[in-house]
Structure 1
Amino acid sequence: MLEGRRILVTGAARGLGRAIAEACAAQGAQLVLADIDSAGVQATAEALGARAETVDLGDPDSIEALGEALGEAGALHGLINCAALATNVGGMGFEDIELELWDRVQRINVRGTWLMTRACAPLLRASGSGRVVNVASDTALWGAPKLLSYTASKGAVMAMTRSLARELGPDRVGVTCIAPGILTTESTEYVPEARHRLYQDGSAVGGPQSAEDVAGTAAFLVSEAALTLTGQVLPVNNGYVFVT
């Protein structure tokens, strides 16, 4: 489904980003993988026969440099904004969040997603069938407590998805968003067992959700077939949250 399509996946060194990269590779995509973890993303790229790039979503110059490097290499058909700050940002009430933590989460998760999309937009437009997939979280759909900085950032990503879909739609660039629940990855190891159990017992499917359970949806959304879904936020969470 993705043969001949060049896809950039951020946050690809581990966890969900790596699983998404693997799903896209299995469908024949030509991959560019980016992460702040240079060694990790290089290992993923070598395993998948992809190109590795280092990027810091908190640094606008780093993002701009990646966009320029991509432009020198040819067309870009898809961008999957998976990179985000998720580890050790929760567990405290909204009154106890430090300003530095709040600002860092918004800088990386919100501003970084915007700047990465902006850097790639000319290439996505030029491809004639560009796709952007933003990775949010279903915490912004049900209002997870003691996780406000992260939840707010992912709610912003959902809102950006809808506005970007309007702005990029005339150029046949589709923009969608997936909102996973708690996954069994490195980034959720710090989450209390009670919260994991809440998801597993409360979802329609039941049981834990792996990164691989989500990755196939992301791979479909960067395909040419997904344009009519533009602007949609899809809770890919085993049926823990339904939206209408």
Structure 2
Amino acid sequence: MSKLNGMRCVVTGGARGIGKAVCAAFRDEGARVVLTDIDEDEGKKAAEELGCTFEKLDVASEADWDAFAERYPAIDVLVNNAGITGFEDGPAPHDPENASLEEWHKVHAVNTDGCFLGCRYALRAMKAKGTGSIINMSSRSGLVGIPGAAAYAASKAAMRNHSKSVALYAAQNGWAIRCNSIHPAAILTDIWEPMLGDGPDRDAKMAALVADTPLKRFGTVEEVAAACVYLASPESGYMTGAELTLDGGLLAGSAASPGS
């Protein structure tokens, strides 16, 4: 039997990249997938391609979440995947000294507020049944400092910590509602394409970007999606308030032997 057979699974930011891969993996495991995204055109296109239901959702909007809750008052799984880095509109200072408060708020509105609103919705949509899985897509950047992307790193750290608060709250109420976070590092998605290009030096650029990663490669969206399937399924029923790191060994330390 499929691992998610018949489950109602909601994935935010599902139009592309990791979110789209998660939707595909959930579908393949028998779930009834609701793909949400703020980009209506790309979201509808992805949902039609995958055979999912599409709903437009701005995760930073409380009104959008309230309207969504009216349409989907009960679910089994929520993946809070939607997020931004702050560099979507081009280069801008995001270091602790020069970042603007406006840019700081913009990143946190989507990543931190979106996670809070999504978790709040999920708890309300799961507590009647008393079971469910909330998966928050944090980042390796939520575990270490990133000088050039301070708002992004702080927001992902907030997602990590909030996952634990949600997990404990659900447990205190006697619900089998679990909440865990996933922390990917360099996953090969479209966000890397401007840096990689399609020239003859593409492979060399890829190698340079993961030179410090022990496994010497990018991760794939399918690998992240597989982790989501595990956390969504009953197989991970004893895991809550935990985190899964998919970083090719980056945080484990150095793969090189120490010199004599």
Question: TM-score with structure 2 length normalisation?
Answer: 0.85
Tell me, yes or no, if the aligned pair for 2:83 and 2:110 is still in contact at 8 Å. yes
Alignment length, in residue pairs? Answer: 240
Q: Once the 2 structures are TM-superposed, how far is the Cα of residue 141 of structure 1 from its aligned partner? A: 1.5
Give the helix-richer structure, 1 or 2. Answer: 1
Tell me, yes or no, if the aligned pair for 2:9 and 2:78 is still in contact at 8 Å. yes
Deviations 1:118-161 (A, max 9, x none): 12222222233200000001012122220100000000000000
Q: What percent identity do the matched residue pairs reach?
A: 29
- Distance in 2, Cα, partners of 1:49 & 1:68: 22
Which has the larger displacement, 27-36 or 207-216?
207-216
- Distance in 2, Cα, partners of 1:221 & 1:110: 21
For the residue of structure 2 that corresponds to 1:228, the secondary structure is: coil
Structure 1 gap segments, 5+ residues each: none
- Distance in 1, Cα, partners of 2:107 & 2:151: 7
- Distance in 1, Cα, partners of 2:208 & 2:115: 29
Tell me the residue number matched to 2:80: 81
- Distance in 2, Cα, partners of 1:147 & 1:190: 18
For the residue of structure 2 that corresponds to 1:88, the secondary structure is: coil
Given candidates 13, 18, 37, the residue that maps to 1:16 is 18
- Distance in 1, Cα, partners of 2:45 & 2:219: 24
- Distance in 2, Cα, partners of 1:198 & 1:141: 22
Question: TM-score with structure 1 length normalisation?
Answer: 0.91
Tell me the residue number matched to 1:100: 102
Deviations 1:60-88 (A, max 9, x none): 101111111111xxx41100000011251
Tell me, yes or no, if the aligned pair for 2:213 and 2:248 is still in contact at 8 Å. yes
Tell me the residue number matched to 2:257: none
- Distance in 2, Cα, partners of 1:210 & 1:201: 17
Judged with a 3 Å threshold, the aligned counterparts in structure 2 of structure 1 residues 41 and 116 are, in CA distance, closer, same or farther, namely same
Structure 2 gap segments, 5+ residues each: 197-201, 254-260
- 1:88-237 correspondence to structure 2 within 5 Å: 88=87, 92-169=94-171, 170-189=174-193, 200-237=210-247
Deviations 1:176-211 (A, max 9, x none): 000000222123445689996566222232212221
- Distance in 2, Cα, partners of 1:146 & 1:189: 19
Tell me, yes or no, if the aligned pair for 1:136 and 1:158 is still in contact at 8 Å. yes
> Could you say what the CA RMSD is over the residues aligned between the two structures, in angstroms?
2.2
Which has the larger displacement, 190-199 or 125-134?
190-199
Which has the larger displacement, 176-185 or 84-93?
84-93
